Structure formats: C-alpha cells, structure tokens
Amino acid sequence: MPKSVTKLAKPKRATKARKPAGKYGDIRRDLEKQRAALLEEAGVAVLQRPELESFPDLSDQATAEVDQNFTLRLKEREQKLLKKIDDALDRMATRTYGICLRCGEEIPYKRLKARPVTTLCIECKTQQEREEKVRR
C-alpha cells in the first residue's frame, strides 16, 4: 500500500477546541450509540411479542405469558435507562454534565466513561446507597 498517497489525501483538522460537547464528546457518542441500540431493541421486542390466541395448548399459553411478562419488565427497565440517557444528553447540552448533583464536584472522567448516565460522584453514590439501606 503506498503510504504517501494516504498522507496527501488526509485533510487538515481545524482546532479541536470547538467541539460542541467539549471534553465529553467521546462519552456523548457512547450515549448516542447506546440510545440507538435501545430503541432498536425496543422495536424488535414489540415486533416479536407472541400472539397469545395462537397457542392451542395450555402449557404453551403459560410459557407465552411468562415470556411476555419478561418482555414487559425488560421494556420498563430499558425505558428507565433511555430516560437516563436522555437526561445525560440534556445535561451535556446545558453544560451541567459531569457535575455531581449532591456535592457539586466534578465527577472523574473515568467514572463517567464507565457509567455515563451517573449523576453522582462515587463518594455521594456510596453515601446514597448507605442511606437507602437505612431507610429500608
């Protein structure tokens, strides 16, 4: 492969400081990808929902109901995640993304990359979980 040709064809990049999402551009791409995948999955789940009437046998009917319950529960979980993703994208648009909701400190990039929908830093998250355990 002639390397000189590829070098010539490569366009020069302008300043990378003008990226709309700033330092979280990478995470935003992850979120948008995850969002698209969720929507696609939700569409597939709806299409694959079995027709209950078409099961002649009672045991098959029971299986179908269990399957459907599972699909519904999964859908609710996915909807919650979708909401979280949308919220995260909103926060990016308003430049409040990556700020801990409890202490106002910046959440470390590594944590955001691993868990992009989080709204709490690890200390506050741990604290919150501890409080939830006490309440239960």
Q: Which stretch binds Zn ion (CB under 5 A): 28-36, 39-47, 51-59, 116-124?
A: 116-124
Least distance from C-beta 130 to Zn ion, angstroms?
A: 13
CA distance 43 to 45: 5
Count of residues touching Zn ion (by CB under 5 A): 5
Least distance from C-beta 111 to Zn ion, angstroms?
A: 11
Least distance from C-beta 104 to Zn ion, angstroms?
A: 7
Do the beta carbons of residue 98 and residue 112 sit within 8 Å? Answer: yes
What phi and psi, each to the nearest 5 degrees, are found at residue 92? Answer: -65, -40
Instruction: Assess 124 for contact with Zn ion (CB under 5 A).
Output: yes
Q: How far lies 89's CA from each of 25, 38, 58, 98, in Å?
A: 11, 15, 46, 11
Q: Which stretch binds Zn ion (CB under 5 A): 7-15, 59-67, 78-86, 97-105?
A: 97-105
Instruction: Assess 103 for contact with Zn ion (CB under 5 A).
Output: yes
Query: For the chain, how are helix, strand and coil distributed in percent, rounded to 5?
Result: 70, 0, 30
What residues line the site for Zn ion (CB under 5 A)?
A: 100, 102-103, 121, 124
